[in-house]
Amino acid sequence: MALPIPDEFPLEASRPTPSVLGLVPYFVAGGFFGFLAIRSEIASWYRIYEMFRFESFHMYGIIGSAVLTGALCLRLLRRWGLEIRPSEPGRYRYLLGGVVFGLGWGLVGACPGPIYALLGSGVAGAGVVFLGALLGTYAYGWLQRRLPH
Amino acid sequence: MEALKQPWPWYLAGPLIGLFVPLLLVLGNRRFGISSSLRHLCAAMGSRLPFFRYNWRAEAWNLAFVLGIAAGGFAAGVLLPHPGPLELSPQTAAALRQMGLSPEGGLVPQELFSWQAVLSWKGFVFLLLGGFLVGFGARWAGGCTSGHAISGLSAFQPPSLLATLGFFLGGLLAAHLILPWALQALR
C-alpha cells in the first residue's frame, strides 16, 4: 500500500457548503478575469506561441508584474494574518506534472483560465480542449497512486 | 465603449491579474487557482474514484468563478469584440506562415480552432490530446498557471517554482519540437 498522497481537499477538514448568494462575488470576480483574459490576449494561442519563441515581452511582462503585485499584496495581508494555503509536499509531482502541463500548454496555447474564457467567447476548438482537460483530470484521478509524487 | 474593445497593455493587465491573489484571499480565504474546477466537475459528475470523493460543494466558489470567466469571455469576445488581428512580432508571424498557419485568425488560429478544424478527426484529436495533457498535468502538479505561476510564486513557495519551471520546459518542447511535427501531420 502506497503512502497516501497529501490532498488539497481533505474530507475531514471540509468547509461548510456555501449558499448560492455567497457564490455571487466569485462569479463577478470570474467575470472580470474572463474579460481581462481576452482583452490582455493571454487567452490567445498566438501570444503563448510567441512567448515560447521569446519574441515578445508581452506575456513575460504580464506574468512578472502579476507575481510582483501578488507578492506585495500578500506582504500587506500577512499583517492581518491572511496567508494563502501552502502547496502539498513533494518534488516529482511538480516537475513531472509541470512538464506534462507545459506540453499541453505549448500545443493548444491555453491554460485552464483561458479555456473557459475562450469557451465563453464562442471559440469552437475550446470546447474540445475543455473536454480533453476533463478527461485528463479524470485519468489522473485513476492513475494517481501509480504516479511518483 | 471603444476603449473597452482595445487590447490592454501588459503593465495594466499584469497587475490586475496579480490582484486576484489578495482579492480571493479577502473574499473567502481562497487560493487563486483555476484548474481545480476540472476536478470539482469530475466529482460533481459522481465519479467513484477516491480522488473525486470529497465534498466538492464546499469548493463551489471555484465553479462560480470559472462560470464567471466564461461570462467575461462572452462579454469581451462576443459583445465587445476587438476588430482585427493581433499585433504579433514579425518573426513569430513569419514562423507561423512557414508552418502553414495564418497569423490573422483573431485570438486563435482558425486552422486549429474553427468548426471546420474541430469536425475533422485529426484536428479534433490534436485539441483533445492537448487538452488532456493540460488537465492531467495540472492535477499531477497540483495546479496550473494561476495556482502555481501566479499564486504560488507570489507567496514564494518553492514547489510552485519547480512547477513553473516544468510548465516552461514542457511548453518549450511542445512549441519548438512537437508543434511543427504535429502541424505537418494535421495537413
Find the angle CA(B61)-CA(B67)-CA(B69) to the nearest 5 degrees: 105
The pTM (predicted TM-score) of the whole model is 0.96
Asked if B68's CB is within 8 angstroms of A31's CB, the reply is: yes
10-residue averages of pLDDT along chain A (149 residues): 68 74 96 98 97 97 98 94 88 97 97 97 98 98 95
DSSP for A121-149? TT-HHHHHHHHHHHHHHHHHHHHGGGS--
Question: How far apart are the C-alpha atoms of A100 and B136, rounded to whole Å?
Answer: 7
Q: Which of A89, A135, A114, A57 is nearest to B142 (CA)?
A: A89
Does residue B92 surpass a pLDDT of 70? yes
pLDDT band of B3, cuts 50, 70, 90: confident
- Using the Cβ of B44 and the Cβ atoms of chain A, whether some distance falls under 8 Å is answered with no
How large is the ipTM? Answer: 0.96
Per-residue pLDDT averaged across B128-154, rounded? 96
Chain A, window 52-111: residues with a beta carbon less than 8 angstroms from a chain B beta carbon:
52-53, 55-59, 61-71, 73-74, 76-77, 82-91, 93-111
Query: All 3 cell numbers of residue A39?
Result: 482583452
What is the Cα Rg of chain A in Å? 18
Domain ranges of chain A: 20-146
Pull the grid cell for residue B64. 462560480
Q: Where are the domains of chain B?
A: 1-84
For residues A6 and B80, the model is more confident at B80
Weakest mean pLDDT among A2-6, A139-143, B100-104, B149-153:
A2-6
pLDDT for B185 beyond 80: yes
B24 shares contact with chain A (CB less than 8 Å): yes
Cα distance between residue B88 and residue B85, in whole Å: 9
Residues 92-151 of B with CB under 8 A from A: 92, 95-96, 103, 105, 107-109, 112-115, 117-118, 123-124, 126-146, 148-151
Chain A environment of B183 (Cβ under 8 Å) = none
Using a CB-CB cut-off of 8 Å, the residues of chain A touching B143 are 87
What pLDDT is attached to residue B19?
A: 98
What is the rounded average pLDDT of the residues B47-68? 94
pLDDT of residue B138: 98
Q: Which residues of B touch A7 (CB under 8 A)?
A: 54
Find out whether B147 and B129 touch, Cβ atoms under 8 Å: no
Counting Cα atoms < 13 Å in the Cβ hemisphere of A81 gives: 0
Average pLDDT over all residues of chain B: 95
Residue A57: per-residue pLDDT: 97
A-chain CB neighbours of B44 within 8 Å are: none
Question: Which of these ranges, A70-74, A82-86, B100-104, B130-134, has the smallest mean pLDDT?
Answer: A82-86
Of B65, B164, B165, the CB nearest to A26: B65
